[in-house]
Amino acid sequence: MAKAANNQESSLQAGEPGIWVTCARHQESKAAREIGVLFAEKKEGEEDEDEDDIEAAIKKEVEALNANRKGTDGGHNMTPLKMNVDCLMFVKTKPPIDPVAFVRRIVEDAKSAKETGQMKCRYVNRLTPVSVTGKATEQGLEGVAREALAPFFDLTGKKTDVDQFTEAAAKPAAETEAGSEKASNENAQPAEKGFTFAIRPSVRNNSSLKRDIVINTIAGLINNERHKVNLTSPDKVILVDVYQKVCGVSVVDGDWEEFKRYNLTELYGQGQGSKEKKEKE
């Protein structure tokens, strides 16, 4: 079993999208099974399953997770990988799974637990979707960012430094919104709206891509005449995760903070508290 875990630890490669998962200490295996159950309930393209179908899907997914530990993927769309860091794992995804959409459905369900009081996760903490991954170098980060950001932003920006980035975030909301409406026709991108944005980097076990380098690289790609920085209430949040030799980028909705940064423990806790309060009333 130890040998299989070591193989999994070395199998995270650039080019593989997925979901970063933090969990309770020494509970990675149980967290992986919880993710399997969530996948069975939320998997893409399947709606209104009856109870028997869900039970069968859960059983099938757990079998796949057992197969993963034996070195195969069981032909399934999600593969959990154990990292060499406590409380952390990565779940590789395959089409048609979209990591951002998948995680969004899970956190929405967790937030709605305030109505049902039903807690589906005890070991999984935070989920961070990763749409595109590449090598953890400045060049690799830029390539990954261009691919992940292109559907949302006009990528004709000029290099800025981290101080300018911070100053831009401090501008009044009205000024930010006014500036975001400016756009050049010749630089038109798929995104019609001039989204405001915030960059949230996370760097683990990597000494070359510092936080300021990550922010400079990402911010430098974006046309800051059309898209303004807003750290308090952005339209979009750019999540950047660097782990060892791999970096990943995804774009999520601006209510990321409202959804407790996709921390299921906090969302379920919020829901349980709301239910208890309602019962007392």
List of domains in the chain: 2-133+258-276 (no CATH), 137-243 (3.30.2300)
At residue 158 the predicted structure's pLDDT band, cuts being 50, 70 and 90, is low
Closest by CA to 211, choosing from 222, 220, 199, 223, is 199
- Tens digit of each residue's pLDDT (9 = 90 or more) over 193-234: 789 999 999 999 998 899 999 999 999 999 999 999 999 999
Q: How far is CA 69 from the centre of its chain?
A: 24
Q: Which two tokens stand for residue 60?
A: 């099938």
Whether 172 shows a pLDDT value over 80: the answer reads no
pLDDT at 81: 87
Edge-first strand order for the sheet with 236-243 is 132-135, 246-253, 236-243, 197-204
pLDDT at 150: 96
Hunting for tokens 């990292």 — which residue is that? 83
pLDDT at 117: 61
What mean pLDDT is predicted for residues 38-52?
Answer: 57
Write down the pTM of the prediction: 0.74
Of 11-15, 109-113, 169-173, the poorest mean pLDDT is in 169-173
- Tens digit of each residue's pLDDT (9 = 90 or more) over 246-259: 999 999 999 999 99
At residue 99 the predicted structure's pLDDT band, cuts being 50, 70 and 90, is very high
- Tens digit of each residue's pLDDT (9 = 90 or more) over 223-237: 999 999 999 999 999
Integer Cα distance of 157 and 96 in angstroms: 32
Q: How far is CA 281 from CA 59, 275, 276, 277, in A?
A: 40, 10, 9, 6
Q: Percent of the chain scored above 90 by pLDDT?
A: 42
Tell me the sheet residues that pair with 248.
133, 241
**Buried-exposed string 176-198: b where 16+ CB fall within 10 A, e elsewhere:** beebbeebeeeeebebeebbbbb
Q: How many helices (H) and strands (E) does the chain have?
A: 10, 8
Whether 155 shows a pLDDT value over 90: the answer reads yes
Of 48-57, 83-92, 267-276, the poorest mean pLDDT is in 48-57
Whether 268 shows a pLDDT value over 50: the answer reads yes
At residue 84 the predicted structure's pLDDT band, cuts being 50, 70 and 90, is confident
Of 22-36, 64-78, 172-186, 266-280, the poorest mean pLDDT is in 172-186
- Tens digit of each residue's pLDDT (9 = 90 or more) over 109-137: 888 876 666 677 888 999 999 999 999 99
pLDDT at 18: 95
Helices (H), 43-172: 51-69, 99-111, 113-116, 138-149, 162-169
Integer Cα distance of 144 and 217 in angstroms: 11
What mean pLDDT is predicted for residues 155-166?
Answer: 62
